[in-house]
Structure 1
Amino acid sequence: MNFKNKYFNSTIKATLITLIFAITCMKLGSWQLNKAQLKMSLQAQYNKYENDPATELPVNFSNLDEIRYKKVRVLGKYLPQYQILVDNQFDGERPGYYVLTPLAIDGSENIILINRGWIEASENHDQIPEVNVPLSSQSVEGYIWLPSHKFYSLEKKTSAKEWNKVWQNMDLNLYRELVPKKVLPFILKMSPNNEGGFERHWVRPDDRIQTHLSYGYQWYGFAIASILIYMYLGFKKKNITKGNSKRTTTK
């Protein structure tokens, strides 16, 4: 663009609209890039424990982030009366549930919630699947997983006597309130080769990182494009007539 014979002139309304749009796009871009950065950090921690053998359950739970994705092995018996099915879980396009069963740990008063994997939902979604629970002593291996607390939940705070088998979200804090036992503050995702589970195609932490990066750059691109369009439309061409010092503009 040749600025020699042009000057800038724009309305306050156009300036405010462009400014608000550009700032909004930049915030959305930063949000997506921050999500990608978080997943990269989680993947680095996942890689740290990926090839390690399963160990005994840690004794100190003061820093849960430090033991996230750590592989552990626990022995105990399942408590089927407190089993839950987490709804709205998909395997491809197939709807289903995650089966989470608490395990009473041998030699301890603690119980740990085991994610035993995915099962397909019935065609009639009101029909709750019957899920088999082994009653003998179990040896379970898996990795420690910290569920998100960032969701809006409509779960009812029912008593243990009115146990709700199907949950819309895995609200671990609510679960710990309802179960009259000491529930550990994390979940164990059962290893794919462990017996007693269902379909287990656990998603890696770095899943969709490229998608977040693409969205982030796209939002930044929208912000830059809006500013360039604003500037392009704001510059007016000078029209100076000979013998007349008055400046006019072309529309």
Structure 2
Amino acid sequence: MRFKKFNPGKKITIFFIFFATTFFLLGIWQVERGHDKSKIIEEFNNNIKKNPSPLSEESSKWDRVSVKGFWKGSKQILIDNAINTGAAGYKVLTPLKINGTETFILVDRGWISQGESRNVLPNIEIQNEYAEVNGILEDPELGFVLSENLVTSNWPKVSQTKNLEVLNKEFEEQMAPYILVADPTLKSSLAYMKIVPTNMTAEKHFGYAIQWFTMFIAICLMYLWIGFKKNEE
């Protein structure tokens, strides 16, 4: 019985090794990212069902907490490019001075429409009164921004990012390391936007993994076909 000799050539082999390895590793990476996102979403879903606990040094991202204090309406920040049900607007962040401390925490009171013109900011006035706020702690990443000037100079300020590393620099006061996304039951809350704990679902990552593994299989089959075909010629 005569077997076909496999001889794809050196250049084809180098090409194959590079791309096959790349496709396979990208597939593995997407699977790992998918599992990570699954854990984050599971933790988030479990936390939002809990009763709020008092904010403490042990509190962490996605914890459901309760904070008491006084609003500081003179230093509010509007997060630009917030889309709610197809309408453009802003997320409104208001500092709350935590009772018994000198620390402020930024409270996400919700969404407000942009209005007819970007040149005129919406009315976000709030009284400097006592409030008890329940909600979820978040620590947003910087994300993709289109401008180098992330925050405007005058209060209320408009920011292109919700990242605390950027926002807390705008305050002279001591600021907490989290944003508190207030429950929609808050007296001073605006339109509520559902919290999205990840920028991409686990299912999307697994879908991308399938695509990379499919490309890996395809290039393996192509390599075999070229190797045997070239030998026949």
With the length of structure 1 as denominator, give the TM-score of the two structures.
0.79
Alignment of 1:59-208 (within 5 A): 60-61=57-58, 67-149=60-142, 154-155=148-149, 162-163=154-155, 165-205=157-197, 208=201
In 2 relative to 1, CA 189–234 (structure 1 residues): closer, same or farther, beyond 3 Å? same
Contact 2:74 2:156 in 1 (8 A): no
Q: Displacement of 1:134 after TM fit?
A: 3.6
Structure 1 unaligned blocks of 5 or more: 238-248
RMSD (Å), alpha carbons? 2.8
Aligned length: 231
Q: Is the 8 A contact 1:113 1:187 kept in 2?
A: yes
What do the CA deviations read for 1:22-75 (whole angstroms, capped 9, x no partner)? 2332333233323322222212322442322112211x24xx6xx322221112
In the alignment, structure 2 segments of 5+ residues that lack a partner are none
Q: Secondary structure at the match of 2:229?
A: strand
Letter in 2 for 1:179: F
Task: Return the match for 2:221 from 218, 228, 232.
Answer: 228
Residues 99-155 of structure 1: per-residue CA shift (max 9 Å, x gap): 111111222111001111122333544443332324322221101112225656724
Q: Matched residue of 1:223: which SS?
A: helix
Q: Work out the percentage of aligned pairs sharing the same amino acid.
A: 30
Q: Write the letter of the residue equivalent to 1:19.
A: I
| Alpha-carbon contact 2:80-2:161 (below 8 Å) kept | yes
CA distance in 1, matches of 2:85, 2:11: 47
Instruction: Return the index of the structure with the highest Cα Rg.
Output: 1
Supply the distance in 2 between the matched residues of 1:250 and 1:164 (Cα, whole angstroms).
75
The separation in 2 between residues aligned to 1:42 and 1:136, in whole angstroms, is 35
